Amino acid sequence: MTDSLDYELRPAAGDPAGALVLFHGRGVDEQDLLPVLDVLDPRRRLVGATPRGPLQLPPGGRHWYIVPRVGFPEPQTFFDSLARASTFLDELAERTGVPLSRTVLGGFSQGTVMAYALALGAGRPKPAGLVAMSGFIPTVEGFSLDLEGRRDLPVAIAHGSRDPIISVDFARDARDRLRAAGLEPLYLESPMPHAIDPRSLPDLERFVADAVDRAAASGTS
């Protein structure tokens, strides 16, 4: 377990229809997005998990990678966290019995970067869906995307147009890149700073439910 991640687990109300994994942002920990599991899955149809970033860096809290500049994670810490997050997802599937194909990955800020990498990275298995809140698709030497193999992946992008930390231009770029590759992302932009807009949550709740139902209907396992 030392190569994986610590995490909080929120059980489903019954036999889980799927899973929802949310990766937190920079400088907090696995408790930060724990309440969002209930917001995005109020009926508790899904088993939920919030992993903890492996790094402890200034100014405090947990982190997924070192930030030399926004949009470009430091490679060593990025790849280490990506490997550990991948192992975590494998272990979670084994523990819960819910495969990644019925798991929606999501996050906020740095956590969105990890969710993008896990959901879109070349050689990665495809999840049931992706929720990207206030983050960006990472540019890292040695990391590549497989958008061609993700054309049927449900993706939701939510970002504030007044975000001073991660510019909304990153969200617009992600939207445009995904559309160019044949995906049809749900795109939610609102006049918010670096935060989750409560007004976007009903749309994201429906998105998560639909993504899991779609995976179940396709018979993926």
Per residue in 17-75, pLDDT (tens digit) is: 999 999 999 999 999 999 999 999 999 999 999 999 999 999 899 999 999 999 999 99
pLDDT of residue 219: 73
pLDDT of residue 2: 42
Q: Give the homologous superfamily in CATH for domain 7-216.
A: Alpha/Beta hydrolase fold, catalytic domain (3.40.50.1820)
What's the chain's length in residues?
Answer: 221
pLDDT of residue 197: 97
pTM of the predicted model over 0.85: yes
Q: Are 91 and 83 in contact, with CB atoms under 8 Å apart?
A: no
Extract the residue ranges of the chain whose pLDDT is less than 70: 1-3, 220-221
